[in-house]
Amino acid sequence: MATNYETMYILRPDLIDEQVEQNISKYENIIKENGAENVEIQNRGKRRLAYEINKHRDGVYVQMNYSAVGSTIAPMERAMRLSEEVIRYLTIKQDLAEQETADEETSAAAIAQER
């Protein structure tokens, strides 16, 4: 049974746009090859870090939302751990109750707009 996950990772700030896109597609391909579906990627851009990480004060934030089985995550996280471009990463399991609430709010907003 597929579960919804969110992975947020931070790339080094000194990467050019082409390298950022290569890294994004690399991790997208890894999770798709391992069975992930409904992959949504948001490049949040370069932002200031809350604290210095490996002498970096800024980082390029990327968010991925997808549906997959639990075993899909390990190969992607291993690749991120071994990569020098990734400063930090975190994968969380999204709660279905949160999604249903968000869907209900979206539906309520759509109904309100129709009136």
pLDDT band at 58 (very low <50, low <70, confident <90, very high): very high
- Condensed to tens digits (0 to 9), the pLDDT of residues 19-53 reads 999 999 999 999 999 888 898 999 998 999 999 98
Q: CA separation (Å) from 53 to 14, 34, 37, 49, 80?
A: 14, 30, 32, 8, 15
- The whole-angstrom separation of Cα 79 and Cα 32 is 14
pLDDT in tens, 91-111: 999 876 555 555 666 655 656
| DSSP single-letter state for residue 76 | H
What is the residue extent of each domain of the chain? Answer: 3-114
For the entire predicted model, the pTM comes to 0.77
Q: Domain 3-114 is in which class? A: alpha beta
Smallest Cα–Cα separation from 7: which of 46, 47, 62?
Answer: 62
> CB–CB of 86/11 below 8 Å?
yes
Task: Kindly indicate the confidence band of residue 114, based on its pLDDT and cuts at 50, 70 and 90.
Answer: low
